[in-house]
Amino acid sequence: MQILALALVVFTFLSPWLGSITFIVIVAMLEVWIILVNLSKIKVNNKNNKYTPEEVGAIEHYRLFFRYPFASKILSPVFSGIQLSVFVLVPWLIFKGLYFNAVVIGLNYFIASQLAVMLNPQFFLHDNVDKGKIKDPIQLLRFKQDMDVVDSALEKMYLGQGNKS
């Protein structure tokens, strides 16, 4: 999938107008598809009290990550790549005089970053906590709690470990 994003960037350099339109259409279709899939609600089956209320909340909040874990982990880096491609494409398109295309692709920086986090919250929570990126102690505590809840829910979901105590 990341090869597709790279191919779109190269195509945009070779043919700025057609490449940028193609980039915008493909990325927009991918983003709309992810957003529409995310609109579907899930109800956590917690008959045996396998999950704590916090874990149920995390599963419902990060529904794409828990419902489609493998697809989410594949698509999250794609959106990160789209986000990074903005730094290359926008100056090139401005240089070529394609201001509208540059603005539309530039807006993808903000959209793609949110979708990347939504698709793989475990990676971004661990990245922020483990690397010390969060300096505010209250926000750090919230990130650590969210990280622990997501990790615990994943462990119970995929390793079949419930609350046996």
- 98 Rama class: left (phi>0) / alpha (psi -120 to 50) / beta: beta
The confidence score (pLDDT) of residue 107 equals 95
148, pLDDT greater than 80: yes
The confidence score (pLDDT) of residue 160 equals 63
Contact 84, 59 (CB under 8 A): no
How far does Cα 150 stand from its chain's mean position? 15
Name the residue with higher pLDDT: 162 or 53.
53
Report pTM: 0.79
19, pLDDT greater than 70: yes
Name the residue with higher pLDDT: 48 or 100.
100
Per residue in 128-138, pLDDT (tens digit) is: 888 888 888 88
The confidence score (pLDDT) of residue 86 equals 94
For 144-148, the CB contacts below 8 A with 24+ separation are 145/54, 146/58, 146/121, 147/122
Phi, psi of 17 (to 5 degrees): -70, -55
- Going from N- to C-terminal start, the domains of the chain cover 2-120
Q: CA-based angle 21:23:27, to the nearest 5?
A: 120
Contact 22, 8 (CB under 8 A): yes
What percent of the chain has pLDDT above 90? Answer: 38
Q: Which of 97, 101, 74 is nearest to 3 (CA)?
A: 74
165, pLDDT greater than 60: no
Per residue in 105-130, pLDDT (tens digit) is: 999 999 999 999 889 998 888 888 88
Contact 13, 92 (CB under 8 A): yes
